[in-house]
Amino acid sequence: MTDVLIIIQARTGSTRFPEKVLQPLLGIPLLHRMIERVKLSKYGNHVVVATTWLPNDDIIAHQMISLGQQYYRGHPYDLLDRHYNIAREYNAQHIVKIPSDCPLIDPEVINYVIDYYLNNQPNLDYAGNVFQPSWPDGNDVEIFSFTALEQAYFNAKEKYQREHTTPYIYKNDQLFKIANVNNPSGGYELYQHYRLTLDYPEDFEVIRMTFNNLFPKNPQFGWNEIVEFLKENPEINAINAKYHSKSWMNDHYSKTPIEKYTR
């Protein structure tokens, strides 16, 4: 049995920025760089890339084979189906969901959220840092039990519930025990003013310039160093400023009864 399994969901078919996960960061595809960062987490021994069975995603499968990276190909639009089948295949007890549009995710943020969840077992079914985000945008971590995932898999009917994997869990507070995990040294202003998630070409420019500057000095740079760099270079941070705080999650998570679950 795998205690904690991290799943990175990745595809080439983004409508806003096609093939964004293949964009190069210092000559290496962005998805590869993200895998490197996720594996720096103390929970990074068990990582699976979840892509689709569509022909356009053959390139992701081929790259994972060349890396020796475990991967799974599944339904293009039903992410709940993908996560459930991977969790079953690896006999995972707890599943971590991280989207591939977070290439500069801080491994210490991953550790912090997972630690919080595990330290509160068996009193939690789900924990995440996305209800009232308090790290820079692009540090999304959700963790949930296989039992909760299985209940969602068999009961979620709405399209958005299946497309985004976890809404059935975090919107059913009568069925599941959920918690939001806050940054102990930050707040919502970090999410508002610093965007390191990848949806648009402008986002990639910020990510590329940040990575190119920080990686040669410290390959394991964290979110604090990113924030300091962007404070010192406001012209870079301004490149994607029109998208700051822009996320589908703002609508979905804002309707979640988080007040009694915020930690």
Query: Which CATH number goes with the domain that contains 17?
Result: 3.90.550.10
Residue whose entry in the numeric block shows the structure tokens 């820079």: 136
Of 105, 70, 113, residue with least CA distance to 89: 70
What is the residue range of 76's domain? Answer: 2-254
Is there a domain that residue 179 lies in?
yes
> Is residue 199 included in any domain, yes or no?
yes
Taking 70 as the pLDDT cut, the residues of the chain under it are 1, 247-263
What's at 257, amino acid-wise? P
Q: Name 25's Cβ contacts closer than 8 Å, sequence gap at least 6.
A: 33, 103, 207, 208, 211, 212, 215
Q: In this predicted structure, what is the pLDDT of residue 197?
A: 96
- Within a 10 A sphere around the Cβ of 14, how many other Cβ atoms? 15
Q: What is the pLDDT of residue 255?
A: 46
Digit-coded pLDDT (tens) for 195-237? 999 999 999 999 999 999 999 999 999 999 999 999 999 999 9
Q: Assess if residue 227 is contained within a domain.
A: yes
Residue 138 lies in a domain: yes
What's the structural domain count of the chain?
A: 1
Is there a domain that residue 262 lies in? no
How much of the chain is helix, strand and coil, in % rounded to 5? 45, 15, 40
